[in-house]
Chains A and B, each alone.
Chain A
Amino acid sequence: MESWIEVLLYGLAGTLLGGFLFVVPSIHFLNFSGVIIALWGHYHGLFPIEEPLTLFAFFMGMVVSFGIMNTIPSMFLGAPDESAVFVVLPGAKYMLQGKGYEAAMLTGIGGLLGIFFLALFTPFFFFALPKLHIILGPHMHWILGLIIVYMLMSEWPKGTGKGETWWIKLKGAWANLFAGIATFGLSAFMGFLIFNRTMVPVSMGFQGLLPVFVGLFAVSSLISAILSKQKIPHQHISNDIDLDYKTMWKGWMPGCIGGTLAAYLPGVTGGIGGLIAGHACAQRDDRIFVMSQGVSKVVYYTGQFLLFFIPVTMFLKGSGLKRGGMAINLSPFYKPTLLQEYFFIFGIVVMAACISFLLLSFNSKWIIKLIAKVPYQKLSYASLAIVVIMVFFMPAMIDGAINGETMLSGLQVILIMCVSTCLGLIPIFYHCRRSNCMAVIIVPICISMAGYGPPLVNFLGLG
């Protein structure tokens, strides 16, 4: 067993680094982990090889801080404009009312409640989940299929219904539905291309999805913010948060359900899990929604990585449970076998959550000051520039060298980002759900789990 103080220090380092790094738009812990692992390949002293838990503690700290901290770039720096109607989360609504700080802290409190849920459900993870996995494992494809069907079927027309003929009425109302279906179909097709025809340099490995996700969600939001010329009102920094136990319970429950769904089901993200859980609990209050998003995100990101630490001996086949990119990225380095390791890592989770919560308050305050001083559009342009530079240099960062080859790879990933940005703009301009873009990952996973992957790949000529 490693020296606990060393593990703790690595956990602390991951938390603090993440606490400031993830304030920058579209830096994701998965991409950063790729860079860190690549760096480790060059500088072996970065993590002691004889104490592998230090690596995991570092990244767990980072995952937890990401789950809590990524509220800041999405709420304060990438707030979609009002025309993005049903995709404007109540968090952005708070922002437009000058209550962005309150919303950020609500998600932070939600995050802490999410950690409480993970602690409460630890016995379930140990004893029930491995058994449940045996029952559900062979049926994963149709469960994902159910989610896909529901995502498509549960989007309703948003036209005003005005028109002299039924055709005009139908056409107006169906505009957003067609856009949603088109986004879904195109994203799914793009997913097939990405998964079956590597369009990024091989060395980027798991980071191949970086330009896709950045384009679909981050760049499209920033472009929308630039075009809309949205003015952000003065943000009020309150000393206390208006929150009672009932609201906490109501936000906690859907958040936990959504986060758990997303953590366990491959290809399902916190957003989709949150959407389904929100419908299941039929809660409409904005405060509840904002808080449940905080719970869901932390349960999703942290829970997904935490599942990796359930000792493999608990599973019948001894294979353990790998969910999410982080567990897949790090699994070649270590296989947790002891119960103590789980609790050790959970200690890191608790520490990281508490520090991240404090950092969330600190970071929100200075970001609010920044927004007040710098025009929002300029901030969006700066964010866009950071994102583009980061994506362009990602192959170079992973290879640890700037040369002709990495520059060419940088251009390739920028091209992929441009295509996915176009896709990501469809829901913004046509007022359909942005979660349709998640077809990029959920559809290929679902199809290949059902065993239809190879015939479809051949049919599409991608084999």
Chain B
Amino acid sequence: MKGLTHFMSGAAVASFFLPAVKMAGAEQIGGASSFILCLGGLFGIMPDTMDFKMGQFFTKSEYEIDPDPMDPDPQEMAEGLGKAIDQAYDTNQTVQAQMYPMRLGADLWRQYVINFDGKTNEVVIVINEIVTTSQVPILGSEPPPKKRVGRYKIKGDFNITHGRPSVVDIMSGPMYGFFKNEDGKMEIEFLPWHRTWSHSYVLGLFMSVPVWLIASLIAGWQIGWLYGLIAFLGFSVHLTEDLTGHMGGSLLWPFVKPRCNGLSLFRASNPHANFSIDYSAVVIILFNLNRFAPTPMFTLSPFKYFLYCLILPLAGYFAIVKIFGEKGKKKKAGVIAMEKALAREELEYEAEEHMAGDM
């Protein structure tokens, strides 16, 4: 799920605690108010923060593919990535490869696309146009057809279930982890450093201990536990929500290290899923704030409240999405450019075949 979704969910979970809500609204009774409910949100976004702001920079890769921005060789790049896969195939060990972006100047980057073709078991690299930092392509800046596509056929077979081409242009490139599964097929792990140690309930528990201790020293032992508990629950709700996607997490790291798969209900970036959860979090927070207010503003039963404020509006939203929503998946501009380049390559190949046949 998106960062905001985890953040809102963490705050919503924190709002279920009467003492926390009372402390947050303490100014009503003449005292200074607490920010304890923010702690749920803070720890809700913490696992991804640890990954993207810290963890990724400590991860080592066996292969680093850093193409020459002035004269990129797609064949060399495909071979570099392919060799990493072959090494994993031969050694039965996980091999990681880091791809880097091609920076041409302060505001210019060379875009390329990486595709793992499950049908032909090939690594395909397509070099696209030069793009600005705003990802606007400069028309006509793509390399000549002969220097545009690189292919490498791997030794084994890919096991690709939900792969999408990766477009690399500005700022950073992806890291892949390759390993052979029990069926002898090659698995591709996208961002192998993501959702591993940082997405563990055990780590969440461990991280909530200092929160409990510090809060207890400042606010007293009788209430410090609540800070620790809210931090833990905020952290945990993130991990649980992530299980709805494809990637899952290493939920019991360091005791069980491999990353389990998610339920694959929807993509983490699905706008409708994210919006529904954000909206639900707001509705829940309002319900709890009213419930714990000295004089509640409304006295609807929970059933009626959630029916009128959550279920019916979301049903309306999804009805609109169903009727007017996009049919099919929208492709990135870089992927479309890649498909055009590959189609052109195929046409040229066919044309050469015909020419050879005529001769």
A154: chain B residues at CB < 8 Å are 3-4, 7, 45
B297: shortest Cβ distance to chain A, in Å? 5
Bound Cα distance A136, B53 (Å): 33
A162: chain B residues at CB < 8 Å are 66, 100
* Shortest Cβ distance from B172 into A: residue: A161
Chain A contact residues: over half helix, strand or loop, or mixed? helix
Does B351 lie at the interface of the complex (its beta carbon under 8 Å from any beta carbon of A)?
no
Determine if B53 and A283 form an interchain contact, defined as CB atoms under 8 angstroms apart.
no
Determine if A157 and B52 form an interchain contact, defined as CB atoms under 8 angstroms apart.
yes
Does B190 lie at the interface of the complex (its beta carbon under 8 Å from any beta carbon of A)?
no
Q: Of residues 17 to 39 in B, which have CB atoms within 8 Å of A's CB atoms?
A: 24-28, 31-38
Determine if A450 and B33 form an interchain contact, defined as CB atoms under 8 angstroms apart.
yes
A374: chain B residues at CB < 8 Å are none
Determine if B107 and A82 form an interchain contact, defined as CB atoms under 8 angstroms apart.
yes
Chain A binder among B116-124, B213-221, B236-244, B268-276: B268-276
Determine if A150 and B7 form an interchain contact, defined as CB atoms under 8 angstroms apart.
yes
Bound Cα distance A177, B57 (Å): 14
Interface size on B, residues (CB 8 A): 60
* Shortest Cβ distance from A133 into B: residue: B297
Known: A149-B38, A160-B103. A141 touches B27 (CB 8 A): yes
Known: A138-B28, A141-B27, A166-B57. A451 touches B52 (CB 8 A): no
Determine if B32 and A452 form an interchain contact, defined as CB atoms under 8 angstroms apart.
yes
Does B359 lie at the interface of the complex (its beta carbon under 8 Å from any beta carbon of A)?
no
Does B261 lie at the interface of the complex (its beta carbon under 8 Å from any beta carbon of A)?
no
Interface size on A, residues (CB 8 A): 51
Chain A binder among B70-78, B131-139, B341-349: B131-139
Bound Cα distance A452, B103 (Å): 47
Determine if B4 and A135 form an interchain contact, defined as CB atoms under 8 angstroms apart.
no
Determine if B293 and A135 form an interchain contact, defined as CB atoms under 8 angstroms apart.
yes
Does B324 lie at the interface of the complex (its beta carbon under 8 Å from any beta carbon of A)?
yes
Known: A134-B297, A153-B7, A249-B320. A160 touches B172 (CB 8 A): yes
Known: A158-B171, A177-B53. A150 touches B4 (CB 8 A): yes
- A260-303: CB near B (< 8 Å → 1, else 0) gives 00000000000000001001111100000000000000000000
Determine if A142 and B53 form an interchain contact, defined as CB atoms under 8 angstroms apart.
no
Does A232 lie at the interface of the complex (its beta carbon under 8 Å from any beta carbon of B)?
no
Does B298 lie at the interface of the complex (its beta carbon under 8 Å from any beta carbon of A)?
yes
Known: A82-B107, A135-B286, A160-B172. A280 touches B134 (CB 8 A): no
Determine if B32 and A450 form an interchain contact, defined as CB atoms under 8 angstroms apart.
yes
Determine if A153 and B31 form an interchain contact, defined as CB atoms under 8 angstroms apart.
no
Determine if A138 and B4 form an interchain contact, defined as CB atoms under 8 angstroms apart.
no
Instruction: Give 28 CB contacts A-B under 8 Å.
Output: A82-B133, A85-B107, A90-B134, A96-B134, A96-B136, A134-B297, A135-B290, A135-B297, A138-B293, A139-B24, A139-B25, A142-B38, A150-B41, A154-B4, A156-B52, A156-B53, A158-B171, A159-B171, A160-B101, A161-B56, A161-B98, A169-B57, A170-B57, A246-B324, A246-B325, A280-B275, A281-B274, A451-B26
